Structure 1
Amino acid sequence: MARWCARHGAQVRAWDSRAEPPAAATLASELPEVERLAGELDAGRALEGCVAVLKSPGLAPGDTRIAAVLSAAAERGIAVQGELGLFAEALDVLAGAIGYAPKVLAITGTNGKTTTTAMTAQLVESTGRRVAVAGNIGPTMLQTLADALDAVGEVEVAAAQGGAGALGNAAAAAAAFAATDAAGGHVDAASGDDADTDSSAADTDSAAADADPATDAADAAAPEGGARGARAFDSAAAGGEASADAGARDPAATRVEPDESDADGDDSAEADPARLEALLAAPTAPAPVHPALAELPEVWVLELSSFQLDGVTGFEPSAAALLNLTQDHLDWHGSFDAYVAAKARVFGARAVIVANRDDPAVEAALPAAPAPKKRVRSVPRQVVRFGIGAPTRAGDFGIVIEHGIAWLARAIEPERDGGRRARAEAASSALQMQRLMPADALRVRGRHNAANALAALALASAIGCGLAPMLHALREYRGEPHRVEFIATIDGIDAFDDSKGTNVGATVAALDGLGADRAPARLAVILGGDGKGQDFAPLLAPLGRHARAIATIGRDADAIERVVGATGLPLTRHPSLEAATRWCFEQAQPGDAVLLSPACASLDMFRDYAHRAAVFVDTVRAIAADRAGVMA
């Protein structure tokens, strides 16, 4: 964020709670003009001359170190935002400056975000669209946007407004972003929503933007309201395979539009035939198309954490998916309700909603219908659901079993009268199942990954992407590192790395997904680490269904054992991951799998979850060497 603000001419003041944060040298080298603050934060000094404050997703709203600054900012009317809000404002400015209105697909949930984001991007790209991927853990949204603008040349972008656009004149740019509550940042080291790494960079050091001398240019540079509307997706006009027929209109989630009767008849062209004829006869010159639009990303696919979504306003994606909800980051949000509320912001006010129908918490989090208003017509929002069972509504996605084969499928209304839909009759008829591809054709294993694939198909279909190229791309998707990643087979026993399973929900998904695929074979499971205050009770049922043995490690091994001991399975605590891995291979039988899916963060024993995975993989290789190299 500091990079983005400085690049557009804002005066930036950065604060970090640490005297020497990891990115301090990078910040000083790349942005020597940024004023740095460290240690205890003085609200008066920090906010002196500021027009906006940007907060890192790593700083909880209730963090006592910044409480005084946030309170003082509220009293002075200084907006507090994060990177997502700044990114949304940037797209609005670009929409007004050069007509840039890309589709935006947003993905959140407790688990599966990274996989679904990568899948979605690959599917959209297979249809010939230019795609940018950014968000949680991966490249930041603002840096990815900055790189895209650099690639087309900001001078050319500025030319769309004669050099006075929000991305042309640097001073005007700073003023525009300041005027739209997006001119500065306040950032500490941040971690991803389902990651336990502690990362920081120059653009994620804290910053506060000072008022710029060019503030008077803000009104000219910043677009009037409506840029978000231009970028928002109109589900009724999606075209392709995402038409209104493809997804159900849900009465529980609506947007409102003025009733036609509200129009002022005296001013309308329809009320004056001569005026209407003149309007129709007048030549209309096509609007010039800026050359940058041929190179900038056509679709943004964003993986968003609850930290990034918390408190965001003005973010309006084209379609958004809420994959699942289980307890996580309660120390940051304070309660599960607050965590859910943050996640639900992903839908904005107009996005096509993609929801997991198997998760009651997701269903409960969907936006409620607004209260009826006089002379206002409600237009239902499009809601597309997915799940691992058969879909029950037209346009929804799911899995159907036919002749013993599991198929990814989409429900469609039956066609009548030579292909024309008879909606009144179809409403009372059985749905037809459009078989898309066998679930076993996916290279990634587990029903949870099949559910991720269905969510990705729903998202991409919502912006009009065709199924044929997407299904081919889905067959080629090879998965993400440390997400139920196959490592090797030793003496008929497979090893899977799910080190990124840093919470209970992720491990439940891995157990049920991989366990269902391998039944009647079973899993030897490694659990443990820093449990972050989670309730481990949800592990009990899937372990009982799919596990053969359980090894525990780390700080919260005792808390886990108190819960999972009720399974009656072999259960042993180990001093190291190496010892736990070897014990699991001893317990497993041919056809079984050894699964590292700890349900905990890693920092009590490792640098991060990637380090934990590396230790597991090295141990698997050592076991193969001990067994005369029998490794596939």
Structure 2
Amino acid sequence: MQPLQDTNVLVLGLGSSGLAMARWCARQGAASVTVADTRETPPQLAALRAAVPDARFVHGALDAALLQPVRADLLLKSPGLTPAQVAAVVEATRADGIPVAGELDLFTQALAGLRDTQAYAPQILAVTGTNGKTTVASLTAQLVERAGKTVALAGNIGPTLLDTLVQHLDDDTLPQVWVIELSSFQLADMAAPAPHDATPAFEPTAACVLNLSQDHLDWHGDMASYAAAKARIFGSQALMVLNRDDPAVMAMLPAPVKGRAVRRSTSVGAGVPTQPGAFGLEKVNGMVWLVRAQELDPTIKLRKGQEPEELHMQRLMPAEALRIRGQHNAVNALTALALAAEAGCTLAPVLYGLREYHGEPHRVESVAVVDEIEYFDDSKGTNVGATAAALAGLGAERKLVPILGGDGKGQDFSPLREPIRRAARAVVLIGRDAPAIRAALEGCGVKLVDARDMHHAVDEARRLAHAGDAVLLSPACASFDMFDNYEHRARVFVDAVHALAEDSGQLSQGGMA
């Protein structure tokens, strides 16, 4: 990818990333910036006019005809656009020898330039996965900060990579560590390295793929393409932090090749680690601990037939000391710890940061305790994988009454059968795809109850739950059949729970009494 100065740039899509790319290109001296969008007046149009007054905006179909009136030396694609939406214009662009890239490429190019001009070489910790990205990215940034390092948090979590970089450049506060959350869209849009291309490749210090489950297959086409996009986060040199409980993630670790250095990696999981340096959970005298398997002494050489040195577990902290709930969040905490450790963060302040992290809104967030039943808002659980993780995490502690349903986006709900069978006392179904979920769960030994709306669902869940149980809103579906978005769905759930609390006079907000 060529330098941006004096380049004619065409940006596809005027969302937050498209706007950030347009602003960055103008700042770097692009000869012209054209932004194309299918919408006549996208929400960011006024911001584009204000930030890049000379930018040209065109609307209409994103096809090969778009290139005829537009001179372009570089095509930049916003991650929200599916490959199918832009296939024609991308193919025509590449046929003309014009490079195609995305925001992550511009960010990588910018850091390479700062390295050359200012000797700026930050550590980069990158996070992706179907579920848990925002929690792990936010927690990792907090741990790095508690360890005394300056940190920037950006990417899919918002704000954009380039907007965050600009802010730090303008304030002269370039951080020591970047924690970036990346979606499969952003990773798929990274430019493939071309022969003899001096463009720097994305090479984080450490990166993780938290998990893989069906999501965004309308964008990627199939699970193999989705997994391949996620795996691009590791580059060729990063420490790979892998979820050993997910076979699809573990399959990303390259097989050893004779004569080549073994790829550096570590793993996290819900069980006791079996490899040196790996992280996990261990139950000792009835208490679950976050642990790390200590590294073996490299000076000890095993003789032929000699038993390997016994692994010793370093107990880090009790899982119950975490404010984020559920086994899956304990594993998220271990992942953040592994990333922070690779950035050189010392253990004591990092463990303090783990204890004080409250979690992100609408992600297994405790709402209230009413009549000895705790209510959790996991409205961000919009796919089967997220809900399965929440069920397994909270269900390790108590029985659950989950509220499921909404717009299922064509997902297969059968992977929920086993988590429901293990963790649920009963299930309340809402929304358009309640019948599809019922069909997938029928016969698993758990009572299924239909509800007409969220308030009715909360009432039914309360009726079905026993003292000490939890009611979990984790729909495994999008919200658009009944609500404006997942935040709106959460607000209605919280309102319904608070209505119960007012009726009972026994409200304890935000956790157990």
- Shared fold per TM-score greater than 0.5: yes
Residues 425 and 446, structure 2, Cα contact 8 Å, conserved in 1: yes
Q: How much has 1:388 moved relative to structure 2?
A: 0.7
For 1:473 and 1:68, locate their aligned partners in 2 and report how far apart those are by CA, in whole Å: 48
Aligned match of 1:587: 464
Using structure 1 for the length normalisation, give the TM-score: 0.73
For 2:299 and 2:256, locate their aligned partners in 1 and report how far apart those are by CA, in whole Å: 28
For 2:349 and 2:299, locate their aligned partners in 1 and report how far apart those are by CA, in whole Å: 26
Q: Secondary structure at the match of 2:264?
A: strand
Residues 276 and 296, structure 2, Cα contact 8 Å, conserved in 1: no
For 1:338 and 1:427, locate their aligned partners in 2 and report how far apart those are by CA, in whole Å: 42
Residues 344 and 366, structure 1, Cα contact 8 Å, conserved in 2: no
Which runs of structure 2 are paired with 1:215-234 in the superposition (5 Å)?
A: none
* Structure 1 residue corresponding to 2:94, chosen from 64, 74, 92: 74
For 2:362 and 2:243, locate their aligned partners in 1 and report how far apart those are by CA, in whole Å: 23
Aligned match of 1:188: none
Residues 152 and 177, structure 2, Cα contact 8 Å, conserved in 1: yes
* Structure 2 residue corresponding to 1:330, chosen from 217, 229, 234: 217
* Structure 1 residue corresponding to 2:176, chosen from 298, 310, 313: 298
For 2:316 and 2:505, locate their aligned partners in 1 and report how far apart those are by CA, in whole Å: 43
1:353-384 Cα offsets, whole Å, 9 max, x none, are 100111111111223456x6xxxx52222111
Aligned match of 2:329: 449
Residues 207 and 240, structure 2, Cα contact 8 Å, conserved in 1: yes
For 2:235 and 2:228, locate their aligned partners in 1 and report how far apart those are by CA, in whole Å: 12
Aligned match of 2:377: 497
Q: Secondary structure at the match of 1:567?
A: coil
Pairing 1:108–2:115 present: no
Give the partner amino acid of 1:359: D
Aligned match of 2:427: 550
For 1:141 and 1:447, locate their aligned partners in 2 and report how far apart those are by CA, in whole Å: 31
1:282-303 Cα offsets, whole Å, 9 max, x none, are xxxxxxxxxxxxx310000011
Which runs of structure 2 are paired with 1:65-144 in the superposition (5 Å)?
A: 66-144=86-164
1:130-151 Cα offsets, whole Å, 9 max, x none, are 0000111321111000100010
Give the partner amino acid of 1:508: A
Aligned match of 2:260: 378
Aligned match of 2:231: 344
Which has the higher mean CA deviation after the structures are superposed, 427-436 or 487-496?
A: 427-436
Aligned match of 1:364: 251
Pairing 1:146–2:33 present: no
Give the partner amino acid of 1:49: R
Q: How much has 1:129 moved relative to structure 2?
A: 0.6
For 1:517 and 1:139, locate their aligned partners in 2 and report how far apart those are by CA, in whole Å: 36
Q: Secondary structure at the match of 1:566?
A: coil
Residues 77 and 189, structure 2, Cα contact 8 Å, conserved in 1: no
Give the partner amino acid of 1:561: R
Pairing 1:9–2:21 present: no
1:239-267 Cα offsets, whole Å, 9 max, x none, are xxxxxxxxxxxxxxxxxxxxxxxxxxxxx
Pairing 1:431–2:311 present: yes
Q: Secondary structure at the match of 1:96?
A: helix
1:265-314 Cα offsets, whole Å, 9 max, x none, are xxxxxxxxxxxxxxxxxxxxxxxxxxxxxx31000001111011114242
Q: How much has 1:421 moved relative to structure 2?
A: 4.7
For 2:456 and 2:52, locate their aligned partners in 1 and report how far apart those are by CA, in whole Å: 47
1:460-503 Cα offsets, whole Å, 9 max, x none, are 11122111111111111111111100000001010000001011
Q: How much has 1:44 moved relative to structure 2?
A: 4.4
Give the partner amino acid of 1:334: G
- Figure out how many residues of one structure are paired with residues of the other and give that number: 476
For 2:424 and 2:479, locate their aligned partners in 1 and report how far apart those are by CA, in whole Å: 22
For residues 349 and 621 of structure 1, do their structure 2 counterparts lie closer, same or farther at Cα, with a shift above 3 Å needed?
same
Q: Secondary structure at the match of 1:525?
A: strand
1:148-197 Cα offsets, whole Å, 9 max, x none, are 00101xxxxxxxxxxxxxxxxxxxxxxxxxxxxxxxxxxxxxxxxxxxxx
Which has the higher mean CA deviation after the structures are superposed, 378-387 or 138-147?
A: 378-387
Report % sequence identity: 55
Q: Secondary structure at the match of 2:280?
A: strand
Q: How much has 1:78 moved relative to structure 2?
A: 1.0
Aligned match of 1:467: 347
Aligned match of 1:281: none
Give the partner amino acid of 2:358: R
Q: How much has 1:567 moved relative to structure 2?
A: 2.1
Residues 491 and 631, structure 1, Cα contact 8 Å, conserved in 2: no
Q: Secondary structure at the match of 2:233?
A: helix
Aligned match of 1:59: 81
For residues 307 and 414 of structure 1, do their structure 2 counterparts lie closer, same or farther at Cα, with a shift above 3 Å needed?
closer
Pairing 1:387–2:266 present: no
Residues 499 and 609, structure 1, Cα contact 8 Å, conserved in 2: yes
Aligned match of 1:50: 72
For 2:505 and 2:290, locate their aligned partners in 1 and report how far apart those are by CA, in whole Å: 41
1:35-77 Cα offsets, whole Å, 9 max, x none, are 01112235344363211111111111122xx222111111011
Aligned match of 1:179: none
Give the partner amino acid of 2:471: V
For 1:37 and 1:463, locate their aligned partners in 2 and report how far apart those are by CA, in whole Å: 44
Give the partner amino acid of 1:308: Q
Residues 371 and 506, structure 2, Cα contact 8 Å, conserved in 1: no
Q: How much has 1:413 moved relative to structure 2?
A: 4.1
Q: Secondary structure at the match of 1:50?
A: coil
Aligned match of 1:422: 300
Give the partner amino acid of 2:414: A
Residues 382 and 478, structure 2, Cα contact 8 Å, conserved in 1: yes
Pairing 1:506–2:386 present: yes
For 1:410 and 1:491, locate their aligned partners in 2 and report how far apart those are by CA, in whole Å: 38
Can you give the 5+ residue segments of structure 1 that lack an aligned partner in the other structure? Answer: 153-294
Residues 384 and 395, structure 1, Cα contact 8 Å, conserved in 2: yes
Q: Secondary structure at the match of 2:484?
A: coil
Aligned match of 1:23: 44
Which runs of structure 2 are paired with 1:606-625 in the superposition (5 Å)?
A: 606-625=483-502
For residues 439 and 628 of structure 1, do their structure 2 counterparts lie closer, same or farther at Cα, with a shift above 3 Å needed?
closer
Aligned match of 1:170: none
Aligned match of 1:165: none
Pairing 1:576–2:453 present: yes
Give the partner amino acid of 2:421: G
Q: Secondary structure at the match of 1:392?
A: coil
Give the partner amino acid of 1:145: L
For 1:22 and 1:305, locate their aligned partners in 2 and report how far apart those are by CA, in whole Å: 22
Q: How much has 1:554 moved relative to structure 2?
A: 1.5
Residues 207 and 239, structure 2, Cα contact 8 Å, conserved in 1: yes
Which has the higher mean CA deviation after the structures are superposed, 389-398 or 311-320?
A: 311-320
Give the partner amino acid of 2:131: N
The structure showing larger relative contact order (alpha-carbon pairs under 8 Å, at least 6 residues apart) is: 1
Aligned match of 2:437: 560
Can you give the 5+ residue segments of structure 2 that lack an aligned partner in the other structure? Answer: 1-20, 192-200
Which has the higher mean CA deviation after the structures are superposed, 18-27 or 436-445?
A: 18-27
